[in-house]
A and B are shown apart, each in its own frame.
Chain A
Amino acid sequence: MTIEQYAAPETLDELTRLLSGGNALIFAGGTDVMPQTRAGARQFQPYLINASRVAGLRGISREGARIRIGALTTVTDILESNLLSEHVPVLVEAADCFASGQVRNTATLGGNLCNASPAADLAIPLLLVDAELELSSNDNGAPSRRVVPISDFFVAPGKTVLKPTEILTRVIFDAPPSGFRARFIKFGTRPALDIAVVSVGVAGATANMVFAITRVAFGAAAPTPIRGKKTEELLEGRLLVDDTILAASSAAQKDVSPISDVRGSAWYRRELVRTLTERALHDVA
């Protein structure tokens, strides 16, 4: 497929109007789009829309209890954000083991989520904080918006609930309460420039003087990034003693449904899920 038209709109309104015409592909940092089209794994559409000039979609801010991150915010922006380091260090941890410096400088948060890789690193911490995704479109000339919880956003590898006429504009979540502790562990076979073989995130908070886990999430262990519901249930309200951690890491294996590929077999991914869950829980306990 050859590109017939290229547009670089400067306002969201202009962009959503272009999108509503259909047959368009959004290009943010291009770090997924370019390698995928070159490898023949994805086709360009007749319209290529460069989103990177749209005003107001890049940046991290806090309004009251709510933290908002624009979809065009780069991984480097996340890594260097004092606000995020203070409130959600786990998101910064994920940015810290993401790709390489060059890729981080252009790769965007929106691209990472909308590309919907089961291994998307930034999805895991956002699952831990119950992030909501703001999707914008143009409905017969009028701007329109809907909000989807991140746990409902991913559908299958490379597929989300995003309609072809919609763009992800913002990621929003409540600043975690004090006493919030979380950990993200990405397992790659080398420390840099690696796609996760498996990743694990855990988060918890202190209620009634007891620290307990509230959220567990897994990457590259199912067709999409997922919450570990069974593990969460097992851990709910419980003190993180060794027996509980052991039981939870076995439960984690029931949450996942990994595949075998060149990066690892299903057997190996299950082993990693157990070990990494155990290690992550020990780290926050």
Chain B
Amino acid sequence: MTVIEKQTLIGKAIPKLDGPKKVTGEARYVQDIELPRMLFAKILRSSRVHARIVRIDTSAARKLPGVHAVITAADTPGVPLGHGKDNPPLKSDKVRSLRDEVAAVAAESEDIAERALSLIEVDYEDLPAVFDPNAALLDDAPVIHESHPDNIPFTYEYSQGDVGQGERDSDVVIEDKFTLHFVTHCCMGVSGAVAQFDADDNLTVYSQTQVPFLYKKDIAPIIDVPPEKIRVIQPSIGGGFGSKLDIYPFEPICILLARATRRPVKLTFTREEEFLASPTRQPVELTLRSGVKKDGTLTFRDVATVHDNGAYTSWGATTPFVIMQTISSLYRVPHCSYRTTVVYTNNPYSGSFRGFGNLQATFAVESHMDKLAEAVAMDPLAFRLQNAQQPGETTPQGMVFRSCGLAECLTTAAERSGFVEKHARYSRYGRGQNGQGGPVKRGVGIASLLHVGGGAKIYRSDGCGTMLKIDDYGHVTVLTGASEIGQGSETVIAQFVAEELGLPISSISVVNDDSELTPWDVGVHASRTTFIAGNSAQRAARKAREKLLAAAATKLELSAEELDLREGNVTRADTGEALLELPRLIRSLHFAKKSEVVMTAEYYEPPSVPQDKEFKGDVSASYAFGTQVVELEVDTETGVIRIVKVTAAHDVGRVINSLGIQGQIEGGVAMGMGYAISEHLLVDEGVIQNPCFRDYKLVTAPEMPEIDMHFIETLDPEGPSGAKGVGEAPAICIAAAVVNAVYNATGTRFDSLPLTPERVLRRLKNHA
């Protein structure tokens, strides 16, 4: 008997399904959308950081030929947007930052719209401004929002155990302050939208949102259109990284202009505007006290942070949710307390950004781990292993680690990079002893991370819907709520479906860009899509599979258990022998007396729970871990850091698409490196000094180090085929590994970023 081996798609390297379209320019981005009679919009932004608006005169702009509408706050419903509902799309009483939207124009061309902006007269009365969050906390500080006279829109407090007890148990206590800077997403596709109303007042928005269903609900009151009359179409998105999780004023402005003109309106940013008016990663000042016993056991952590919220509240204000997790649960710490004050300033405001507070938290925690290890004379690896979380653990914050590969990540990254030996050797050299003469010093650093890997239940549901149909030629259409923002979800979803139905990946189309067709989903965030949408798609496909096998069993007079679906056929389960072509089976269902279409639906809701009022609870269905070792060179005469090699070991649960994970790790390393050594949005008194790629230094191809990747497969019990999320993880811990490596190389420890050549040289030369 010949047995045909079953082929699997899980774990294979599958090129992204949307790749060819993007590479050839066929993909349509919002910039490519052109509708008949379309107008072009431009926004007039504030020229002051903090001022009362005394008068706006738009009469000259309105008279300019080609201008169809000029709107100010008076032409809007006046409902504010954003997480704090403190940000009106157009400002009426005052402006609070340089990006503030004051008026907007729709015209027949961008040029005309721009000329019209220059004709709008705005009189301001300057108000005292504040840029340093600590200064904004003082009693006599200027008030940014009258609703918050103390400039504090949010505070967070968390505690577990008894920090006093922890302190008494400690042999060594260390306290440090870490300061994190402004960086921004730098999506290659700049922001934009196209809005159109039809004769029945139905609105279609071509939007870059990564949360299309929440978007409808959130934007409805701001534009005064009921959510059920809004259709969201998502053209290809040129990068999200969290930036498209919130609604920013430009979208309601575009929609309000479309309504005012009764014509389609397109609004796209210039690159400079993208730098000036998109969200940033939140700058955080983090004071961390930690204790340890002589034997290397962590005793407590006490953390206070001040977040620069900027002038308005977007998701940046909620990053403490994630910061707390790393502080309480990356390693076992019995006693922990954490306080955050989120402070309004006249700076640009912060949004959601890959890692969501975790880059800042991990930078501090993993810098401290190295200091604590040194204080008790342990090597950084052994110290981390001793305190690492283990599978099966429930942390004091209530997270349940059903699978946990932290120890394996640590040992794998360390062994593959030769960390322990190099760390000992370089630190001797770095301190000026034997060898390593010359100005260029080498160092290695290690850091680990914890991040949600199975969604995050911050809404009542963390679910995702799938609808699936198979046509009479065996082609499958999967309608998923999950948005593709370049992360590769479309490909992974197709893989899960193809796997269940025994079809080649080319037989699957994924529809994910039109809210009129697709079922509900929370959105792309929290590294949740492979896990949540993947589970949903897999289950929908399983239902279809059962239906097909049952029908085949009847037709073939066998039992369903004896059958399988492979390579487009119904086969024998044991031998793989093909018995019936799948399209024939489907056609026979269509044309039967009691005819039937093969169509299934699934709504997957993960078994996670929302946190309670004390921020405790098993908020994710799975947790991801990882360790990165960085080897680098520091030129002590120029301050240049060259990252030579990154060894990355990530607990991914199970590899679904190895190319996809590789892409996430490479991209994450590039992004994390930028945060560590080169990216810095320079904000001076609220004014961005470097709104261009010439002076905002993204990491470029020649600087990319060798990356040695290791996927640790812990087979998560709840994950689809065992997988967990890995979207954010690779960017999170590299900055900490870099400062640890710089310390290893030079004996100088940095507590702020980025380690640009000049900042490094200043510290090495003790030049203020």
- The interface of chain A, by Cβ under 8 A from chain B, is 39, 187, 189-193, 195, 262-265, 267-268, 271-272, 275-276
A191–B642 Cα distance when bound, in Å, is 11
Which residues does chain A contribute within 8 Å of B761, judged by CB atoms? 268, 271
CB of B689 closer than 8 Å to a CB of A: yes
Which residues does chain B contribute within 8 Å of A190, judged by CB atoms? 678, 697, 699-700, 702-703
Which residues does chain B contribute within 8 Å of A265, judged by CB atoms? 758
Nearest-neighbour CB distance to chain A for B721, whole angstroms, equals 40
A25–B535 Cα distance when bound, in Å, is 63
**B697:A189 contact, CB within 8 angstroms:** yes
A268–B682 Cα distance when bound, in Å, is 17
Extra A-B contacts (15), CB below 8 Å, given A189-B756, A192-B700: A39-B272, A187-B638, A189-B640, A189-B678, A190-B678, A190-B702, A190-B703, A191-B702, A262-B690, A267-B762, A268-B757, A268-B762, A271-B637, A271-B765, A275-B637
Nearest-neighbour CB distance to chain B for A242, whole angstroms, equals 14
Can you report 26 residue pairs joining A to B where beta carbons are below 8 Å apart?
A: A39-B272, A189-B640, A189-B678, A189-B697, A190-B700, A190-B702, A190-B703, A191-B700, A191-B702, A192-B702, A193-B700, A262-B682, A262-B689, A262-B690, A262-B695, A263-B695, A264-B758, A265-B758, A267-B762, A268-B757, A268-B761, A271-B637, A271-B761, A271-B765, A272-B638, A276-B638
**A195:B697 contact, CB within 8 angstroms:** no
Which residues does chain A contribute within 8 Å of B700, judged by CB atoms? 190-193
**A275:B678 contact, CB within 8 angstroms:** no
Q: Which of B256-301 contact A (CB under 8 A)?
A: 272
Interface centre among B637, B678, B690, B756 (most CB of A within 10 A): B637
CB of B613 closer than 8 Å to a CB of A: no
**A195:B694 contact, CB within 8 angstroms:** yes
**What does DSSP make chain B's interface, helix, strand, loop or mixed?**
loop
A195–B697 Cα distance when bound, in Å, is 11
Q: Which of B626-668 contact A (CB under 8 A)?
A: 637-638, 640
CB of B767 closer than 8 Å to a CB of A: yes
Inter-chain residue pair count (beta carbon < 8 A): 42
Which residues does chain B contribute within 8 Å of A189, judged by CB atoms? 640, 678, 697, 756-757
A189–B638 Cα distance when bound, in Å, is 10
Contact indicator per residue, chain B 688-708, by CB within 8 Å of chain A (1) or not (0): 011000110101111100000
Which residues does chain B contribute within 8 Å of A191, judged by CB atoms? 700, 702-703
**B638:A275 contact, CB within 8 angstroms:** yes
Interface size on B, residues (CB 8 A): 23
A187–B689 Cα distance when bound, in Å, is 21
B272's closest neighbor in chain A, by CB? Answer: A39
Nearest-neighbour CB distance to chain B for A121, whole angstroms, equals 14
Contact indicator per residue, chain B 726-768, by CB within 8 Å of chain A (1) or not (0): 0000000000000000000000000000001110011001010
**B640:A267 contact, CB within 8 angstroms:** no
User: 3 closest pairs, A vs B, by CB?
Assistant: A268-B758, A191-B702, A275-B637
Which residues does chain A contribute within 8 Å of B699, judged by CB atoms? 190
Which residues does chain A contribute within 8 Å of B762, judged by CB atoms? 267-268
Nearest-neighbour CB distance to chain B for A5, whole angstroms, equals 20
Which residues does chain B contribute within 8 Å of A263, judged by CB atoms? 695
Nearest-neighbour CB distance to chain B for A194, whole angstroms, equals 8
Which residues does chain A contribute within 8 Å of B765, judged by CB atoms? 271
Which residues does chain B contribute within 8 Å of A192, judged by CB atoms? 700-702
B678's closest neighbor in chain A, by CB? Answer: A189
A187–B758 Cα distance when bound, in Å, is 12
Which residues does chain A contribute within 8 Å of B272, judged by CB atoms? 39
**A267:B767 contact, CB within 8 angstroms:** yes
Which residues does chain B contribute within 8 Å of A268, judged by CB atoms? 757-758, 761-762
Nearest-neighbour CB distance to chain B for A187, whole angstroms, equals 7
A269's closest neighbor in chain B, by CB? Answer: B758
A191–B705 Cα distance when bound, in Å, is 13
Q: Which of B220-273 contact A (CB under 8 A)?
A: 272
A105–B710 Cα distance when bound, in Å, is 41
Which residues does chain A contribute within 8 Å of B682, judged by CB atoms? 262
A267–B759 Cα distance when bound, in Å, is 11
A266–B567 Cα distance when bound, in Å, is 68
Interface centre among B638, B700, B765 (most CB of A within 10 A): B638
A264–B762 Cα distance when bound, in Å, is 12
A192–B703 Cα distance when bound, in Å, is 9
B693's closest neighbor in chain A, by CB? Answer: A193
A187's closest neighbor in chain B, by CB? Answer: B638
Nearest-neighbour CB distance to chain B for A114, whole angstroms, equals 20
A271's closest neighbor in chain B, by CB? Answer: B761
A263–B702 Cα distance when bound, in Å, is 20
A190–B674 Cα distance when bound, in Å, is 11
A63–B689 Cα distance when bound, in Å, is 49
B692's closest neighbor in chain A, by CB? Answer: A39
Which residues does chain B contribute within 8 Å of A264, judged by CB atoms? 758
Which residues does chain B contribute within 8 Å of A267, judged by CB atoms? 762, 767
A267–B640 Cα distance when bound, in Å, is 16
Which residues does chain B contribute within 8 Å of A272, judged by CB atoms? 638
Which residues does chain B contribute within 8 Å of A262, judged by CB atoms? 682, 689-690, 695
A103–B111 Cα distance when bound, in Å, is 26
A189–B754 Cα distance when bound, in Å, is 12
Nearest-neighbour CB distance to chain A for B688, whole angstroms, equals 11
A195–B701 Cα distance when bound, in Å, is 17
Which residues does chain A contribute within 8 Å of B703, judged by CB atoms? 190-191
A195–B762 Cα distance when bound, in Å, is 21
A276–B637 Cα distance when bound, in Å, is 9
Nearest-neighbour CB distance to chain A for B452, whole angstroms, equals 33
A221–B408 Cα distance when bound, in Å, is 51
Which residues does chain A contribute within 8 Å of B756, judged by CB atoms? 189
A270–B57 Cα distance when bound, in Å, is 50
B694's closest neighbor in chain A, by CB? Answer: A195
Which residues does chain A contribute within 8 Å of B758, judged by CB atoms? 264-265, 268
B642's closest neighbor in chain A, by CB? Answer: A191
B703's closest neighbor in chain A, by CB? Answer: A190
Nearest-neighbour CB distance to chain A for B687, whole angstroms, equals 12
A193–B756 Cα distance when bound, in Å, is 17
A189–B641 Cα distance when bound, in Å, is 9
A268–B272 Cα distance when bound, in Å, is 27
A198's closest neighbor in chain B, by CB? Answer: B638
Which residues does chain A contribute within 8 Å of B697, judged by CB atoms? 189-190
Nearest-neighbour CB distance to chain A for B305, whole angstroms, equals 28
Nearest-neighbour CB distance to chain B for A64, whole angstroms, equals 40
A283–B762 Cα distance when bound, in Å, is 26
Nearest-neighbour CB distance to chain A for B765, whole angstroms, equals 8
Interface centre among B758, B765, B767 (most CB of A within 10 A): B758
Which residues does chain A contribute within 8 Å of B689, judged by CB atoms? 262
A187–B635 Cα distance when bound, in Å, is 13
A189–B702 Cα distance when bound, in Å, is 12
A265's closest neighbor in chain B, by CB? Answer: B758
Which residues does chain A contribute within 8 Å of B694, judged by CB atoms? 195
Nearest-neighbour CB distance to chain B for A212, whole angstroms, equals 25
Interface centre among A192, A265, A268, A276 (most CB of B within 10 A): A268
